[in-house]
Amino acid sequence: MKIAAVQMVSGASLEANLDSARRLIAQAAAEGARLVALPEYFCFMGRTDSDKLAIAEHPGDGAIQSMLAEAAARHGVWLVGGTLPLRSPDPQRVLNSCCVYAPDGAPAARYDKIHLFRFERESGGVRESYDEGRAILAGTGPVACDADGLRVGLSVCYDLRFPELYRVLMAPPCDLLCVPSAFTYTTGQAHWELLLRARAVENQCYVLAPAQGGRHENGRRTWGHSMIVDPWGEVLAVRPEGEGVVLAELDAARIAEVRSQLPALTHRRL
């Protein structure tokens, strides 16, 4: 199966972002992708943390979810819809949700981001400060789904730093781990590729990592480098910055070969 990671530089206009996503999904499908993944918050990168409250949708209803379902059906692809804000029990916070749609447009899975990013640093007189918990309510459990016989494990951005999540997703083993993200430039430059390749190697499966990549209207700069990594940790495709699509072939035989040559998953004791 050919898989695709979409890279975007989303802004504060919901409609403009949805238009860009439609175009890039169409591009990926035209290039043969059967599974397409969008980045975290592909639909909206507001000027403040609380801006996302205004566009939050009820589960199963809303313009963002409708666009994803329609795009999946129009192009006949499995669509991992990055993330979007869904209403939560807390009126001051949203769920950061990854919704998956089948090729007929039917909802296939939903994962609410569990680990919430917090980072503070001052360097050269410039201060960076992020705290997702101010506007996001954490999810409660891991989610995997089936896509044409492939087991796909779902995760989002900061989840990448928590290998225990992926160990839970590997029971039974996944063929593909999806990591839609919006890594900051600072943390991405230091750790993004390192962590993605580690998750691929230790779980002996493909990793699909669509990302935000560029300078956004709100002044934030994201690292980009959307990539696809194979079960041996080899980077098959990468896009450093700017919107676009990266594609690679997910080969089930390659997964079986790596797991046969080095049966690390069967050697686990904890």
Residues with catalytic annotation? 40, 113, 157
- Name the pairing type of β-strands 84-87 and 94-101: antiparallel
Q: What distance in Å separates the CA atoms of residue 188 and residue 56, rounded to the nearest whole number?
A: 27
Q: Is the dihedral of CA 177, 113, 40, 70 positive or negative?
A: positive
Q: Token match 């201060």: residue?
A: 127
Q: Residue 77 corresponds to which tokens in the numbers above?
A: 């692809």
Rounded-to-5 percentages of helix, strand, coil across the chain: 30, 30, 35
Element housing 189 (H / E): helix 185-203
